Protein backbone atom coordinates (compact mmCIF):
# COMPACT_ATOMS: atom_id res chain seq x y z
CA UNK A 1 0.00 0.00 0.00
CA UNK A 2 1.50 3.35 -1.02
CA UNK A 3 1.57 6.35 1.26
CA UNK A 4 -1.82 8.02 1.64
CA UNK A 5 -2.32 11.11 -0.46
CA UNK A 6 -4.42 13.99 0.86
CA UNK A 7 -6.62 15.98 -1.49
CA UNK A 8 -5.81 19.66 -1.82
CA UNK A 9 -7.51 21.80 -4.45
CA UNK A 10 -5.04 23.34 -6.89
CA UNK A 11 -4.72 27.15 -7.20
CA UNK A 12 -6.40 26.89 -10.61
CA UNK A 13 -9.34 24.93 -9.19
CA UNK A 14 -9.71 27.37 -6.31
CA UNK A 15 -9.64 30.31 -8.71
CA UNK A 16 -12.34 28.73 -10.86
CA UNK A 17 -14.39 27.88 -7.77
CA UNK A 18 -14.14 31.49 -6.58
CA UNK A 19 -15.44 32.76 -9.93
CA UNK A 20 -18.32 30.28 -9.86
CA UNK A 21 -19.23 31.35 -6.33
CA UNK A 22 -19.23 35.01 -7.36
CA UNK A 23 -21.59 34.23 -10.26
CA UNK A 24 -23.76 32.20 -7.87
CA UNK A 25 -24.03 35.14 -5.47
CA UNK A 26 -24.89 37.46 -8.35
CA UNK A 27 -27.71 35.11 -9.40
CA UNK A 28 -29.02 34.90 -5.82
CA UNK A 29 -28.82 38.66 -5.26
CA UNK A 30 -30.71 39.33 -8.49
CA UNK A 31 -33.29 36.70 -7.44
CA UNK A 32 -33.81 38.44 -4.10
CA UNK A 33 -33.98 41.83 -5.84
CA UNK A 34 -36.63 40.35 -8.12
CA UNK A 35 -38.51 39.18 -5.07
CA UNK A 36 -38.38 42.69 -3.59
CA UNK A 37 -39.71 44.11 -6.85
CA UNK A 38 -42.54 41.58 -6.86
CA UNK A 39 -43.41 42.40 -3.24
CA UNK A 40 -43.65 46.14 -3.81
CA UNK A 41 -45.12 46.19 -7.31
CA UNK A 42 -46.85 42.93 -8.26
CA UNK A 43 -48.90 41.69 -5.30
CA UNK A 44 -52.36 42.58 -6.53
CA UNK A 45 -55.21 40.90 -8.36
CA UNK A 46 -54.58 42.96 -11.49
CA UNK A 47 -50.91 41.94 -11.63
CA UNK A 48 -51.32 38.22 -10.95
CA UNK A 49 -49.91 37.04 -14.29
CA UNK A 50 -46.92 39.35 -13.91
CA UNK A 51 -46.45 38.05 -10.38
CA UNK A 52 -46.43 34.45 -11.62
CA UNK A 53 -43.92 35.42 -14.31
CA UNK A 54 -41.69 37.01 -11.67
CA UNK A 55 -41.89 33.84 -9.56
CA UNK A 56 -40.68 31.77 -12.53
CA UNK A 57 -37.76 34.14 -13.17
CA UNK A 58 -36.79 34.13 -9.49
CA UNK A 59 -36.85 30.33 -9.49
CA UNK A 60 -34.56 30.14 -12.52
CA UNK A 61 -32.10 32.55 -10.92
CA UNK A 62 -32.15 30.72 -7.58
CA UNK A 63 -31.57 27.33 -9.23
CA UNK A 64 -28.80 28.74 -11.43
CA UNK A 65 -27.05 30.10 -8.36
CA UNK A 66 -27.33 26.75 -6.60
CA UNK A 67 -25.99 24.87 -9.64
CA UNK A 68 -22.94 27.13 -9.85
CA UNK A 69 -22.37 26.91 -6.09
CA UNK A 70 -22.45 23.10 -6.11
CA UNK A 71 -20.07 23.03 -9.05
CA UNK A 72 -17.66 25.27 -7.12
CA UNK A 73 -17.88 23.02 -4.06
CA UNK A 74 -16.79 20.04 -6.12
CA UNK A 75 -13.67 21.90 -7.19
CA UNK A 76 -12.89 23.28 -3.73
CA UNK A 77 -14.73 21.27 -1.04
CA UNK A 78 -14.89 22.00 2.68
CA UNK A 79 -13.55 19.73 5.40
CA UNK A 80 -15.94 17.65 7.48
CA UNK A 81 -13.87 18.57 10.55
CA UNK A 82 -15.25 22.11 10.48
CA UNK A 83 -18.88 21.10 10.90
CA UNK A 84 -20.38 24.60 10.74
CA UNK A 85 -18.56 25.62 7.57
CA UNK A 86 -19.15 22.21 6.04
CA UNK A 87 -22.91 22.48 6.56
CA UNK A 88 -23.24 26.11 5.46
CA UNK A 89 -21.02 25.73 2.40
CA UNK A 90 -22.85 22.65 1.14
CA UNK A 91 -26.40 23.70 2.01
CA UNK A 92 -26.19 27.40 1.15
CA UNK A 93 -28.08 26.77 -2.08
CA UNK A 94 -31.07 25.46 -0.14
CA UNK A 95 -30.90 28.37 2.30
CA UNK A 96 -30.74 31.00 -0.45
CA UNK A 97 -33.42 29.21 -2.47
CA UNK A 98 -35.86 29.45 0.43
CA UNK A 99 -34.90 33.06 1.22
CA UNK A 100 -35.57 34.01 -2.40
CA UNK A 101 -39.25 33.13 -1.86
CA UNK A 102 -40.20 33.03 1.81
CA UNK A 103 -41.03 36.75 2.34
CA UNK A 104 -43.00 36.77 -0.91
CA UNK A 105 -44.97 33.66 0.06
CA UNK A 106 -45.82 35.11 3.47
CA UNK A 107 -46.96 38.43 2.03
CA UNK A 108 -49.09 36.81 -0.68
CA UNK A 109 -51.04 34.80 1.89
CA UNK A 110 -51.32 37.62 4.45
CA UNK A 111 -52.25 40.46 2.08
CA UNK A 112 -55.88 41.31 2.90
CA UNK A 113 -56.38 43.09 -0.40
CA UNK A 114 -55.79 39.98 -2.48
CA UNK A 115 -58.71 37.84 -3.55
CA UNK A 116 -58.90 34.18 -2.60
CA UNK A 117 -58.34 33.23 -6.23
CA UNK A 118 -55.10 35.17 -6.49
CA UNK A 119 -53.88 33.83 -3.18
CA UNK A 120 -54.74 30.30 -4.22
CA UNK A 121 -53.08 30.43 -7.64
CA UNK A 122 -50.09 32.73 -7.10
CA UNK A 123 -49.55 31.54 -3.54
CA UNK A 124 -49.53 27.88 -4.53
CA UNK A 125 -47.12 28.52 -7.39
CA UNK A 126 -44.83 30.49 -5.05
CA UNK A 127 -44.86 27.67 -2.48
CA UNK A 128 -44.03 25.07 -5.13
CA UNK A 129 -41.25 27.30 -6.48
CA UNK A 130 -39.82 27.79 -2.99
CA UNK A 131 -39.86 24.03 -2.39
CA UNK A 132 -38.20 23.41 -5.75
CA UNK A 133 -35.51 26.01 -5.06
CA UNK A 134 -34.85 24.56 -1.63
CA UNK A 135 -34.69 20.94 -2.75
CA UNK A 136 -32.53 21.57 -5.82
CA UNK A 137 -30.27 23.83 -3.76
CA UNK A 138 -29.67 21.18 -1.10
CA UNK A 139 -26.68 18.88 -1.55
CA UNK A 140 -27.63 15.38 -0.44
CA UNK A 141 -24.18 13.97 -1.22
CA UNK A 142 -21.89 16.86 -0.29
CA UNK A 143 -18.24 16.66 -1.29
CA UNK A 144 -15.53 16.97 1.31
CA UNK A 145 -11.75 16.90 1.54
CA UNK A 146 -12.01 13.65 3.49
CA UNK A 147 -14.24 11.95 0.90
CA UNK A 148 -12.00 13.07 -1.96
CA UNK A 149 -8.92 11.87 -0.10
CA UNK A 150 -10.45 8.44 0.41
CA UNK A 151 -11.57 8.16 -3.21
CA UNK A 152 -8.23 9.36 -4.58
CA UNK A 153 -6.28 6.76 -2.64
CA UNK A 154 -8.72 4.00 -3.55
CA UNK A 155 -8.69 4.85 -7.24
CA UNK A 156 -4.93 5.30 -7.31
CA UNK A 157 -4.42 1.82 -5.85
CA UNK A 158 -6.96 0.28 -8.23
CA UNK A 159 -5.29 1.89 -11.26
CA UNK A 160 -1.82 0.82 -10.15
CA UNK A 161 -3.02 -2.76 -9.78
CA UNK A 162 -4.06 -2.96 -13.42
CA UNK A 163 -1.43 -0.59 -14.86
CA UNK A 164 1.94 -1.91 -13.68
CA UNK A 165 2.04 0.28 -10.56
CA UNK A 166 1.59 3.44 -12.64
CA UNK A 167 -1.09 6.10 -12.00
CA UNK A 168 -0.05 8.58 -14.70
CA UNK A 169 -3.16 9.72 -16.60
CA UNK A 170 -4.46 12.19 -19.19
CA UNK A 171 -7.57 14.36 -19.30
CA UNK A 172 -9.09 16.98 -21.58
CA UNK A 173 -10.39 20.42 -20.67
CA UNK A 174 -14.03 19.53 -21.36
CA UNK A 175 -13.86 15.89 -20.28
CA UNK A 176 -15.15 14.34 -17.08
CA UNK A 177 -12.93 11.22 -17.01
CA UNK A 178 -9.20 10.58 -16.81
CA UNK A 179 -7.48 8.29 -19.31
CA UNK A 180 -4.53 5.93 -19.25
CA UNK A 181 -3.83 6.32 -22.96
CA UNK A 182 -3.12 9.60 -24.70
CA UNK A 183 -4.42 8.13 -27.96
CA UNK A 184 -7.76 6.98 -26.48
CA UNK A 185 -10.36 7.87 -29.10
CA UNK A 186 -12.39 9.82 -26.53
CA UNK A 187 -9.60 12.41 -26.18
CA UNK A 188 -7.45 11.91 -29.30
CA UNK A 189 -6.65 15.24 -30.96
CA UNK A 190 -7.80 17.31 -28.01
CA UNK A 191 -5.79 19.67 -25.85
CA UNK A 192 -4.72 17.46 -22.94
CA UNK A 193 -3.41 17.83 -19.43
CA UNK A 194 -1.54 15.06 -17.66
CA UNK A 195 -0.50 14.00 -14.19
CA UNK A 196 -1.50 11.59 -11.45
CA UNK A 197 -5.00 10.54 -10.48
CA UNK A 198 -4.67 12.89 -7.50
CA UNK A 199 -3.79 15.81 -9.77
CA UNK A 200 -6.78 15.14 -12.04
CA UNK A 201 -9.03 15.47 -8.98
CA UNK A 202 -7.30 18.57 -7.68
CA UNK A 203 -7.02 20.46 -10.96
CA UNK A 204 -10.21 19.52 -12.75
CA UNK A 205 -12.44 17.64 -10.31
CA UNK A 206 -12.26 14.51 -12.49
CA UNK A 207 -13.07 11.42 -10.47
CA UNK A 208 -13.59 8.51 -12.87
CA UNK A 209 -11.39 6.35 -15.08
CA UNK A 210 -12.40 6.01 -18.73
CA UNK A 211 -14.01 2.58 -19.20
CA UNK A 212 -12.38 2.17 -22.63
CA UNK A 213 -8.94 2.80 -21.15
CA UNK A 214 -9.64 0.44 -18.26
CA UNK A 215 -10.53 -2.44 -20.58
CA UNK A 216 -7.49 -1.75 -22.76
CA UNK A 217 -5.18 -1.55 -19.73
CA UNK A 218 -6.42 -4.87 -18.34
CA UNK A 219 -5.99 -6.54 -21.75
CA UNK A 220 -2.52 -5.15 -22.47
CA UNK A 221 -1.17 -5.89 -19.01
CA UNK A 222 -2.71 -9.36 -18.85
CA UNK A 223 -4.53 -8.59 -15.62
CA UNK A 224 -7.00 -11.20 -14.41
CA UNK A 225 -9.83 -9.75 -12.33
**Distance, CA of 173 to CA of 190 (rounded, Å):** 8
Does pLDDT of 224 surpass 80?
Answer: no
- Predicted pLDDT at 89: 97
0.85 surpassed by pTM: yes
Digit-coded pLDDT (tens) for 99-136: 999 999 999 999 999 999 999 999 999 999 999 999 99
- Assign 165 to helix, strand or coil: coil
- Assign 31 to helix, strand or coil: helix
Does pLDDT of 163 surpass 80?
Answer: yes
Can you say how many angstroms the Cα of residue 90 is from the centroid of all Cα atoms in its chain? 9
Digit-coded pLDDT (tens) for 12-54: 999 999 999 999 999 999 999 999 999 999 999 999 999 999 9
- Using a 10 angstrom Cβ sphere, with 0-12 exposed, 13-18 middle and 19 or more buried, the burial of residue 185 is exposed
**Residue 77 φ then ψ, to 5°:** -75, 160
The DSSP call for residue 146 is H
Does pLDDT of 1 surpass 70?
Answer: no
- Predicted pLDDT at 33: 98
- Predicted pLDDT at 206: 86
Amino acid sequence: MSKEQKFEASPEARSKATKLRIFAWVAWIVAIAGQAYAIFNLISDDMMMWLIGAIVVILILAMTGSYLWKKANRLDPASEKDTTRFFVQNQLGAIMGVLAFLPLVILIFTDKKLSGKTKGIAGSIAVVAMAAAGITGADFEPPSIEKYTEEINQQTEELKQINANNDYVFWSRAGNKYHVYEDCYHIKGKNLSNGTVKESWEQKGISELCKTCRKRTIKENGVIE
